[in-house]
Amino acid sequence: MAVLRCPTCGLQAPADAVRFRCECGDLLEVSHGFRTRIEPDELRARRVSSAPLDRSGVWRFRELIDHGLPAEHVVTLGEGNTPLLLSAALDAFTGIGELRVKHEGWNPTGSFKDRGMTVAMSRAVARGARRVACASTGNTAASLSAYAARAGLEAFVLVPEGATAESKLAQAAAHGARVVRVRGNFDDAMRLVEDAQEGKDLVLLNSINPFRIEGQKSIVYEILEELDWSPPDWIVFPAGNLGNTSAFGKALAELRELGLVTRLPRLAAVQAEGASPFARAFAGKFAELVPDPDPQTVASAIRIGNPVSYARAVRSLRVTDGVAIAVSDEDILQAKRAVDGAGLGAEPASCAAIAGARELRRRGVIGDGERVACVLTGHLLKDTGAPVGTPLVVEATPEALRQALG
C-alpha cells in the first residue's frame, strides 16, 4: 500500500494524510513499495477493454499510480489516451526529424491537468472531503471544477486578477465552482490557498498534492507505450509550477526500478523568459532558486515566479540528465503559429515546448537523429487572447469573394 514519504528526511505519513509538506520543508511524495510487476501485454490488453477503469488513460496504469484506492472512490471523466502525432511541418520548423507531439489538449477539460485531477479528486472523495480548492492560472481551475462537479463536491478556485484567460474562468464557472480573484499573482494565490487548508473538510488539489503528480506520470507511460516501451531520447515540455517536471522524472525512475525500461530519456523543461526561475537555477547548477516577483509572459499557463515543486523538479533533472531553458515570448508565438498552422493548435504555454525543442536543436543539445517527444499541455481554445490573424471582411457579392480568393 502507498504511503507518503519525505525524500529529504525520510519521514513517512499515511496516504490519507491531510498536509502535504514535511516539517523539514520538502514536499511529501507517494511511495508505492511496488511488489508486483505489471506487464506491457496486460497494459496493451486494457486499451481495448470496456471496463470503466481501463477506459481511462490514467487508471489503466493503476498499479503504477494508486493501486490501493478502492474502485468505488474513483472519479473519472475518461481522461488520457491522447494522441502522439507526427508532423512534417513541425519537423521542418524545429529541424528535428520525426518529432512526435503528445497533445494533452484532447483531455476532457482541454489540458493535461485532468490526469492528475482524477487521482487527487478520487483521494479526496476517499478521505471524505466535502470541499476542494486550488490556486490556478486557469487550467487547474477548469479541471478541478469539472471533477468536483462529477464527484458532487463544493469547489473553490483562486486566480490572479487580470492574469487568467477568460475562457478558462468560463469553464470553472460553468461547472459551478466559486471563483475568487486575488489582487496579486499566482504565487500570492498559492500562499493563500495553502494556508486555508483546514483538516479533512477542505482538500488542496494543486500539484503540492502528491496524488496530482501520480496521475501526471501517465503522460510518460502513454508515450512509452506508443513507442513499444522503447524510450525516446528526449521529452520536451513547458514548465511553470514544475508539476510535470516532477511527475515525469518520478515516472521514469519507477519504471527503471520495475525493469520496464533500462534507458531513461532526457527531460527538457522549457520556461518563458519572463517567468524563468527554474531555468536560471539550472544555469547556476541549482545553487539557489531566485523567484520572479512579477512574472510576465504571453504564456499565461506558465506565468509562475516561485514554483512549488522546485525540489522535486531538481531531482527529476538530475536522475534523467535533463536540462532547463528559457525562450522568449516571440519564440513562443512563432512556435504557436507553426503548431496552429500544422493543424494541431495549442495555447501559447504549450508551444513553449516546440520553441524549446527548436532552440535545443539549434544549440546542438538535441543531436542529429535523436528521437524527441514534445508535450503540448493545453488546447488552442484555452487561451484565445494570443495574437492571431485578422479575418477578411468583404461585401456579399461574387466579385468581392473572387478578389478575396485571389
Looking up cell 546542438 gives 364
Per-residue pLDDT averaged across 170-178, rounded?
94
CA geometry: angle 72, 77, 79, nearest 5 deg: 115
> Which amino acid would we find at residue 221?
Y
pLDDT at 378 over 90: yes
**pLDDT value of position 145:** 97
Instruction: Say whether pLDDT at 200 is over 80.
Output: no
- How much is the average pLDDT of 350-355? 98
Rounded to whole angstroms, the Cα distance separating 404 from 406 reads 5
Task: Give 18's pLDDT tier (boundaries 50, 70, 90).
Answer: confident
CA dist., res. 23 & res. 148, Å (int): 29
Segment 49-66 shows an average pLDDT of: 94
Q: Which residues contact 51 (CB under 8 A, 6 or more apart)?
A: none
Q: Please state, for a pLDDT cut of 70, what percent of the chain lies above it.
A: 97
pLDDT surpasses 60 at 33: yes
The H or E element spanning position 362 is: helix 348-363
Mean pLDDT for the stretch of residues 44-52: 91
Q: Is the pLDDT of residue 37 over 90?
A: no
Q: How many CB atoms lie within 10 A of CB 127?
A: 15
- Arithmetic mean of pLDDT, 236-246: 97
The topology (CATH level 3) of 85-110+232-256+263-382 is Rossmann fold (3.40.50)
Predicted confidence (pLDDT) per residue in 143-166, tens digit:
999 999 999 999 999 998 877 888
pLDDT tens by residue, 86-140: 999 999 999 999 899 999 999 999 999 999 999 999 999 999 999 999 999 889 9
Count CA atoms within 13 Å of residue 373 on its CB side.
26
Task: Report in angstroms the alpha-carbon separations of 82 from 219, 273, 375.
Answer: 9, 29, 11
pLDDT for the residue 390 = 67
| Interval 216-234 mean pLDDT | 97
pLDDT reported for residue 36? 65
Q: Is there a contact between 137 and 304 (Cβ–Cβ < 8 Å)? A: yes
What is the pTM for the complete model shown? Answer: 0.94
pLDDT at 342: 97
CA distance linking residue 55 with residue 57, whole number of Å:
6
Pairing between β-strand 202-204 and β-strand 178-182 as defined by DSSP bridges: unpaired
**Contact call for residues 249 and 317 (beta carbons, < 8 A):** yes
Confidence class of residue 388 from pLDDT cuts 50, 70 and 90?
low
Across residues 341-357, what is the average pLDDT?
97
Residue written as grid cell 513499444: 228
Q: What confidence score (pLDDT) does residue 199 get?
A: 56
Lowest mean pLDDT among 35-49, 67-81, 240-254: 35-49
362 has pLDDT over 90: yes
**Half-sphere exposure of residue 37, counting CA atoms within 13 Å on the CB side?**
10
Do residues 382 and 165 lie in contact, with contact meaning Cβ atoms separated by under 8 Å? yes
Ramachandran bin of 72, using left for φ above 0, alpha for ψ from -120 to 50, beta for the remaining angles = alpha
Closest of 317, 318, 374 to residue 350, by C-alpha? 374
Task: Provide, rounded to the nearest whole percent, the portion of the chain with pLDDT above 90.
Answer: 78
Task: Tell me the average pLDDT across 280-290.
Answer: 97
Q: What number of CA atoms fall less than 13 Å from residue 310's CA on the CB side? A: 20
Find out whether 124 and 153 touch, Cβ atoms under 8 Å: yes
pLDDT category at 198 given cuts 50, 70, 90 is: low
3-state helix, strand, coil in the chain (%, to 5): 40, 15, 45
Q: Computed over its alpha carbons, how large is the radius of gyration of the chain? A: 21
Can you give the pLDDT at residue 262? 93
Neighbours of 349 (CB within 10 A): 33
Give the pLDDT of residue 352: 98
Question: What amino acid is encoded at 41 in this protein?
Answer: D
The CA distance from 112 to 219, in Å, is 8
Q: Where are the beta strands (DSSP E) in 18-124?
A: 29-31, 84-86, 100-103
DSSP state letter for 21: B
Q: If you average pLDDT over residues 158-177, what whole number do you get?
A: 89
DSSP strand pairing (12-14 vs 84-86):
unpaired
